[in-house]
């Protein structure tokens, strides 16, 4: 059950005390005069008074124990006729009468159940998962390095430059671009445009769905980026020989160390 606010309990207690104070003189001296009737007429509508008089006349004509209590005055406590056991008719457990305290609007009751949302805080939800993932990757790398040795070459000879001289695979795409464009275009313009497009991608495609079929722009952008860079790395790794010239791997071999 909903707990009744304190101010409503105080208001009900004050109304109960006022009603008892008004009912005490009425019980001592019957209010049958014209003055009281006229006061009641001013506060109670005429049709309600007629209904009250009819009910009172009907109750006086019925046998004892079957009468109904009729209010002559607004706010007065009605004393119902006692039944055979001494308890007023219509009384609750223990002989207590029931009354309405107040009507509370449903909107004023505070709702404690939180509504589901599609957002979570970065900490601890996201960062905790990323921290666990980084620990797992570090543990895998540590165990892998115990059983597999890194391919180290001999000491570098400053008098002899290896031919072909290739960058690591993650920079081989940029080296391949240098064979096709000016260094300013290959090293600054194209990578810069790619980074700017990827930074602006979340602001261009604002679809919150996680389904690939609903994210056609983001999927297409990532596919073009990966395929463009993968093709450059594959060409630089397998199709470049001495002097970084174009060769066929099935005819001249592969000129890089795994």
pLDDT tens for each residue of 165-198: 888 888 999 999 999 999 999 999 999 998 998 8
Q: Is the pTM of this model over 0.75?
A: no
Residue 43: the pLDDT is: 63
Q: How confident is the model at residue 151 (pLDDT cuts 50, 70, 90)?
A: confident
Rounded CA-CA distance 76/53 in Å is 16
Of 6-15, 40-49, 227-236, where does the model show the most confidence?
A: 227-236
pLDDT of 75 strictly over 50? no
Q: Could you give the angle at the alpha carbon of 70 between the alpha carbons of 35 and 101, nearest 5°?
A: 100
Taking the C-alpha atoms of residue 179 and residue 19, their distance in angstroms, rounded to an integer, is: 101
Instruction: Compute the Cα dihedral for 233, 239, 244, 246 and give only its sign.
Output: negative
| Minimum mean pLDDT range among 44-58, 131-145, 189-203 | 44-58
Segment 187-194 long-range contacts (CB within 8 Å, at least 24 positions apart): 194/225
Q: What pLDDT, on the 0 to 100 scale, is given for residue 123? A: 84
Structure tokens given for 166: 């290739």
pLDDT confidence of residue 111? 60
Q: Is 176 exposed, middle or buried (0-12, 13-18, 19+ CB in 10 A)?
A: buried
DSSP summary character for residue 211? -
With the C-alpha atoms ordered 242, 244, 246, 249, is the resulting torsion angle positive or negative?
Answer: positive
Domains along the chain with CATH numbers: 6-93 (no CATH), 164-252 (1.10.287)
- Which whole number is the average pLDDT over 53-62? 77
Spatial CA neighbour of 242 closest among 179, 167, 163: 163
pLDDT-derived band at 39 (thresholds 50, 70, 90) equals low
Regarding predicted confidence, which is higher, 8 or 235? 235
Cβ-Cβ contacts under 8 Å for 92 (sequence gap 6 or more) = 98
Give alpha helix (H) positions in 148-189: 172-178, 183-184
């Amino acid at each position: 059950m909903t707990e009744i606010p304190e101010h409503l309990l105080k208001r009900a207690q004050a109304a109960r005390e006022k009603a008892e104070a008004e009912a005490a003189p009425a019980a001592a001296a019957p209010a049958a005069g014209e003055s009281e009737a006229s006061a009641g007429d001013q506060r109670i509508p005429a049709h309600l008074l007629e209904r009250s008089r009819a009910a009172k006349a009907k109750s006086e004509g019925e046998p004892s124990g079957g009468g109904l209590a009729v209010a002559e005055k607004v706010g007065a406590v009605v004393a119902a006729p006692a039944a055979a056991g001494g308890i007023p008719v219509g009384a609750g457990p223990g002989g207590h009468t029931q009354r309405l305290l107040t009507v509370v609007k449903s909107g004023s009751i505070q709702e404690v159940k939180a509504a589901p949302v599609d957002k979570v805080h970065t900490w601890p939800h996201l960062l905790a998962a990323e921290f666990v993932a980084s620990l797992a990757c570090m543990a895998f790398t540590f165990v892998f390095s115990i059983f597999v040795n890194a391919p180290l070459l001999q000491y570098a000879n400053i008098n002899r430059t290896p031919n072909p001289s290739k960058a690591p695979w993650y920079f081989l795409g940029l080296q391949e671009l240098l064979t096709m464009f000016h260094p300013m275009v290959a090293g600054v313009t194209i990578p810069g445009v790619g980074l700017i497009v990827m930074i602006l991608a979340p602001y261009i495609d604002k679809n919150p769905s996680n389904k690939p079929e609903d994210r056609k722009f983001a999927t297409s952008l990532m596919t073009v980026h990966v395929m463009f860079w993968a093709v450059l790395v594959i060409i630089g790794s397998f199709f470049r020989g001495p002097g970084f010239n174009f060769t066929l791997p099935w005819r001249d071999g592969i000129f890089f160390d795994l």
